[in-house]
Amino acid sequence: MADEEYSVVIEGLTRRFGKFVAVDHLDLTVRKGEVFGFLGPNGAGKSTTIRMLCGLLTPSAGKAIVAGYDVARSPEMVRQRLGYMSQKFSLYGDLTVMENIRLFAGLYSVSPRDLVARIQWVLEMANLKGRENLITATLPGGWKQRLALGCAVLHRPPVVFLDEPTSGVDPIARRQFWELIHQMAGEGVTVFVTTHYMEEAEYCNRLALIYRGSMVALGTPSELKEKSTQGELLLVECDRLGEALELLRNVPGVLDAAVFGSALHLVVEDAQSEQARIQDKLRSESIVLKRIQKIRPSLEDVFVSLTTSQSRTREQRA
């Protein structure tokens, strides 16, 4: 493995807060020009990992190399070579669009020779040309996020960390934001993004699923959906959903069951042979079955399956 192929190399990265382990011996590599997703629920350790990789938080153990520099030994060198956008809006709401851009250009030491071109790039990218004098706080959410991204990459860093960048924006703005991410990756920028939106994870080249500070799976979205769910998946639509869930969890051959919207997803050993048994069980309790069919697992199915399995393992060890 040649290190020059990778923008991020993590070995045994750990962060403790007292007795609480927020990130637990994480091992990971991210290639140059890759859109890498960090997927997990709130409190999983995603933001803590990002803060360590940005040199904002000292690891308790392990090692991380970002853009060729050790984050523990050379945090300032690392920060000069990355862009960072936090999950909370990071610009100054009482400044104008142009004032924010110029402020961040100064903070990132953008040279006077490049300043005009970089300002124009941000304005075009954020669709804010002609709106330079608007107060930033008055901008719609999607415009704010694009402006924040533009300010974070004014200095053209080779690595960009985006910590839940689309929280609170509408689906159209979220899709446009991801188009910008892929444009940057196409230019060779490594984009490391955290999210808890399952549909966003589909846009990433590879994903790490994080749960309680540990990585539970790693791969492309397709690989995770193909390999990480044991058994086959059945969609069950019926009335009295809560009762049906408890009932079907105890049916032999049903490995797992969960509510997904207005239906149930059942992980079973064999979809074809289990359908009749499930129908009979529901009928015995006078629960009306509307539809039952085999489906392909979504990333949400994979994540629920893996995290449920890990929780059970931890309970058994306790």
Task: Say yes or no: 119 and 210 in one domain.
Answer: yes
Q: Is residue 304 part of a domain?
A: no
Going by pLDDT thresholds of 50, 70 and 90, the confidence category of residue 49 is very high
Q: What is the pLDDT of residue 2?
A: 42
Q: Report the pLDDT averaged over residues 138-153.
A: 89
State whether 189 and 261 are in the same domain. no
List pLDDT tens digits, range 50-75.
Answer: 999 998 899 999 999 999 999 999 99
CATH of the domain at 171: 3.40.50.300
Are residues 52 and 157 both part of a single domain? yes
The answer on 195 and 263 residing in a single domain is no
For 234, the 3-state DSSP assignment is strand
Domain co-membership, 103 together with 189: yes
Q: Are residues 73 and 195 in the same domain?
A: yes
**Domain boundary pick from 219, 238, 271:** 219
Q: What is the pLDDT of residues 198-256, one digit of tens each?
A: 888 889 999 999 999 999 899 998 888 876 567 888 999 999 999 999 999 989 889 88
Give the count of beta carbons closer than 10 Å to the beta carbon of residue 11: 13
Residue 318 located in a structural domain: no
Number of independent structural domains in the chain? 2
pLDDT number for residue 226:
77
Q: Which domain holds residue 270?
A: 230-296
> CA-based angle 44:46:50, to the nearest 5?
155
Half-sphere exposure in the Cβ direction for 94 (13 Å, CA): 0
Mean pLDDT of all residues in 272-289 = 92
Task: Answer yes or no: do 57 and 93 share one domain.
Answer: yes
Question: Of 316, 306, 198, 315, whose CA–CA distance to 255 is shortest?
Answer: 306
Specify the pTM: 0.80
| Domain-located, residue 224 | no
Domain harbouring 253, CATH code: 3.30.70.100
Whether residue 57 sits in one domain with residue 37: yes
Q: How confident is the model at residue 115 (pLDDT cuts 50, 70, 90)?
A: very high
pLDDT of residue 314 exceeding 90: no
**Core vs surface per residue 101-134: b (16+ CB within 10 A) or e:** bbebbeebebeeeeeeebbebbbebbebeebeee
User: Most confidently modeled of 15-29, 210-224, 255-269?
Assistant: 15-29
Domain match, 234 and 195 both? no
Asked whether residue 1 carries a pLDDT value surpassing 50, the answer given is no
pLDDT at residue 170 greater than cutoff 50 = yes
Separation in Å, CA 58 to CA 2, 7, 143, 192, 194? 26, 19, 33, 19, 19
